[in-house]
């Protein structure tokens, strides 16, 4: 059964006189598979009608199409065959596919009516009456899928064009939002044959796939569908299906729709921001049905999708190998020209790594935002001075997020800073919060990332904050800030950035250990050096640093300790003065607390353990006894 599905039936279609026979014969010869002439399967009655200039009816074609279908089913060659068949109407094509269980490749040849009529008038060996040409064009329903080849070149050139299209890796995309469209165009740029589908909701989402194909037809050809069953049916087996739909129930809904139409060996690639535990569940459920599933993180936003994102696939190694040429071709390239895409690991590791990427992103965005806020409202720098400061910092940091922040600071609308017209209530899509949940699960301190998430939460309480600011008169600096603090701010920024990354990578390392994912932190750093949102000079340096110390916490890396020590006092000074002045610096403050806790030989946790044992009999370990042994105390002193 699997061998039959692997057979490819190539049907060269189009109106009479367009060059189907010569093209199909040459194609079959190149592919070294049998050739079958569809016209030879017409009945004597049909041939007489066409010779006499009488158009065939659907009833006339019924037995003819059945004979072609029967012949297709009887093809013995393991690699399939090439057929000619005008297949002018969509229902004719559907009939042929209904009657078989093989993989079809439709090759639609087309040319102007005038050019075809000229060919017919000079031809002698075909029974078709040139007077019927108009009826052929009247009947023709060009397919919105398959390979489209204009026959204004020599047969050999047309065959070469077809072979190039046949050899292209093929993929179908479900979901044509901004990211889906960007990835489709990116794939087309990189010689991938893309079929697109988008659902139809009357008055909300109508003709999305068709319009996308039409808007780009000057440079690309996209097969398009608005019927999911047809979309899946016309994708060659084994099918590669990329989902670009909203994470959560929507993904499960699409899977439940496509699953009855899938076959053993088909592959679903979830390129949205799905929760890694959902991905693990889906992988397990689909494995039972012999369907592959890749949970694939994609970072880079709209620009990255179109021009080269960072891609993080996790799941089946076999499945990744099958589509690696597609994913690596569309990914951003690192400084050595290698794709910012790699096989991450088993189960939901790809989406886990993308989740932590977004967590680090949350922390760095908040760090930039609070630094801007401090410079503007507590140090009274102008917008131009802040933009220049960030630009200066970025000469060495080379941070994408800093780069776009400079652009934001320079954007004006009717002479007014656009930033001042944006409500200070930040949204989120869940990945930051998921990182916090994962940190609790794996026992990792996630201070900066969790704090960044909470800062967004409190920003959303605009009305409450407005009332509170009036009640507590928190509108101007309370303490004077020293003159040299601006110079210290850069050092503080650098160290908080390092701590934020160290926290994120620590979570990846701990999850990898617990799940036996064997994640390569150096390789993850490498694919984050371009295409993704958190690309920076720091990320470039981490590639080698993790190679040198792959199993150590980043803050223990010898090459970072000196840099950390240099910036330590700057971070403490900035955090202390900013908060004393009344400026909220949540990520900076959390980085300070994390660093002080992480570097403390003695913490306050012994008091917590004593308290837990006092009220809950939880027991504790002792400093004067071996680790792993637990003790209890009756704490209440008897009078």
Closest CA to 27 of 122, 140, 193, 147: 147
Same-domain pairing of 188 and 290: yes
Same-domain pairing of 461 and 428: yes
Q: What is the CATH number of the domain that holds 625?
A: 1.20.5.320
Looking at the 3D structure of the chain, how many domains does it have?
4
Same-domain pairing of 7 and 141: yes
**pTM value?**
0.87
Q: What is the CATH number of the domain that holds 396?
A: 1.10.1040.10
Strand partners, 147: 107
For the question of residue 361 being annotated catalytic, the response is yes
Note whether 354 and 424 are within 8 A (CB): no
Same-domain pairing of 460 and 323: no
Same-domain pairing of 275 and 364: no
Same-domain pairing of 252 and 309: yes
d(CA 349, CA 293): 12
d(CA 235, CA 5): 12
Strand partners, 109: 149
Which of 325, 347, 369 is the last residue before a domain boundary?
Answer: 347
Same-domain pairing of 130 and 6: yes
For the question of residue 552 being annotated catalytic, the response is no
How do residues 80-116 score in pLDDT, each as one tens digit? 999 999 999 999 999 998 888 788 899 999 999 888 8
Closest CA to 481 of 569, 574, 352, 384: 574
Same-domain pairing of 372 and 432: yes
pLDDT of residue 1: 35
Residues of the chain predicted below pLDDT 50: 1-3, 125
In the sheet that holds 223-225, the strands lie side by side as 223-225, 193-197, 170-174, 240-243, 267-270, 292-299, 310-315
Give me the catalytic one of 105, 328, 347, 361.
Answer: 361
Which of 347, 380, 396 is the last residue before a domain boundary?
Answer: 347
For residue 312, CA distances in Å to 24, 245, 255, 303, 502 come to: 41, 17, 21, 17, 19
DSSP sequence for 149-179? EE-SS-HHHHHHHHHHHHHS-EEEEE--SHH
Same-domain pairing of 153 and 190: no
**Strand duo 35-36 + 8-13: pairing:** unpaired
Placement of tokens 């001075």 in the chain: 385
d(CA 454, CA 437): 13
Same-domain pairing of 78 and 190: no
Give me the catalytic one of 226, 354, 488, 494.
Answer: 354
Peptide bond between residue 238 and the one before it cis (omega within 30 degrees of 0): yes
Same-domain pairing of 318 and 455: no
Which of 120, 139, 167 is the last residue before a domain boundary?
Answer: 167
Same-domain pairing of 416 and 562: yes
User: Which structural domain, as residue segments, surrounds residue 294?
Assistant: 170-347
């Amino acid at each position: 059964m699997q061998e039959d599905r692997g057979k490819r039936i190539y049907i060269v279609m189009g109106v009479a006189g367009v060059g189907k026979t010569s093209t199909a014969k040459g194609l079959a010869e190149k592919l070294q598979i049998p050739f079958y002439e569809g016209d030879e399967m017409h009945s004597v009655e049909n041939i007489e009608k066409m010779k006499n200039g009488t158009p065939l009816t659907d009833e006339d074609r019924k037995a003819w199409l059945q004979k072609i279908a029967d012949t297709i089913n009887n093809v013995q060659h393991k690699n399939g065959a090439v057929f000619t068949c005008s297949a002018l109407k969509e229902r004719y094509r559907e009939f042929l596919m209904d009657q078989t269980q093989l993989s079809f490749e439709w090759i639609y040849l087309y040319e102007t009516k005038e050019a075809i009529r000229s060919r017919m008038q000079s031809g002698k060996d075909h029974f078709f009456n040139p007077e019927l040409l108009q009826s052929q064009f009247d009947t023709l329903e060009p397919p919105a899928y398959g390979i489209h080849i204009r026959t204004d070149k020599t047969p050999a050139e047309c065959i070469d064009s077809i072979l190039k299209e046949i050899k292209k890796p093929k993929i179908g995309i479900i979901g044509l939002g901004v990211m889906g469209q960007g990835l489709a165009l990116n794939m087309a740029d990189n010689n991938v044959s893309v079929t697109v589908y988008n659902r139809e909701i009357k008055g909300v989402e109508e003709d999305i796939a068709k319009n996308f194909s039409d808007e780009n037809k000057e440079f690309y050809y996209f097969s398009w569908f608005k019927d999911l069953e047809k979309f899946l049916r016309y994708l060659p087996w084994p099918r590669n299906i990329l989902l670009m739909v909203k994470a959560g129930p929507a993904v499960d809904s699409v899977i439940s729709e496509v699953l009855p139409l899938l076959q053993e060996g088909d592959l679903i690639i979830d390129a949205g921001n799905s929760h890694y535990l959902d991905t693990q569940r889906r992988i397990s459920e689909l494995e039972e049905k012999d369907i592959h599933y890749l949970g694939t993180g994609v970072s880079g936003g709209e620009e990255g999708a179109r021009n080269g994102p960072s891609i993080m696939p996790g799941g089946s190694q076999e499945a990744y190998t099958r589509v690696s040429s597609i994913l690596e071709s569309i990914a951003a390239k690192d400084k050595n020209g290698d794709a910012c895409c790699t096989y991450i690991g088993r189960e939901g590791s790809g989406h886990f790594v993308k989740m932590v990427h977004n967590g680090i992103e949350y922390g760095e965005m908040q760090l930039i935002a609070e630094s801007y806020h401090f410079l503007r409202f507590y140090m009274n720098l102008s917008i131009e001075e802040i933009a220049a400061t960030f630009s200066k910092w970025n000469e060495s940091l080379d941070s994408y997020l800093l780069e776009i922040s400079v652009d934001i600071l320079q954007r004006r609308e009717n002479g007014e800073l656009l930033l001042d017209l944006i409500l200070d209530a930040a949204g989120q899509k869940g990945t930051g919060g998921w990182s916090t949940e994962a940190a609790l699960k794996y026992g990792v301190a996630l201070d900066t990332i969790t704090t960044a998430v909470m800062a967004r939460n409190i920003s959303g309480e605009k009305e409450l904050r407005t009332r509170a600011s009036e009640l507590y008169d928190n509108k101007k600096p309370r303490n004077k800030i020293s003159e040299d603090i601006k110079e210290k701010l850069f050092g503080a920024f650098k160290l908080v950035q390092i701590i934020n990354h160290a926290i994120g990578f620590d979570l990846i390392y701990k999850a990898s250990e617990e799940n036996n994912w064997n994640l390569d932190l150096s390789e993850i750093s490498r694919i984050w050096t371009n295409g993704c949102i958190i690309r920076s000079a720091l990320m470039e340096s981490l590639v080698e640093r993790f190679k040198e110390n792959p199993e150590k916490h980043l803050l223990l890396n010898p090459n970072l300790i000196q840099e950390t020590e240099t910036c330590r006092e700057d971070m403490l000074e900035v955090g202390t003065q900013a908060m004393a002045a009344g400026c909220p610096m949540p990520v900076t403050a959390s980085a300070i607390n994390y660093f002080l806790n992480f570097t403390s030989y003695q913490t306050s946790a012994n008091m917590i353990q004593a308290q837990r044992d006092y009220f809950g009999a939880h027991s504790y370990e002792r400093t004067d006894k071996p680790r792993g042994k637990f003790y209890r105390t009756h704490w209440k002193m008897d009078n």
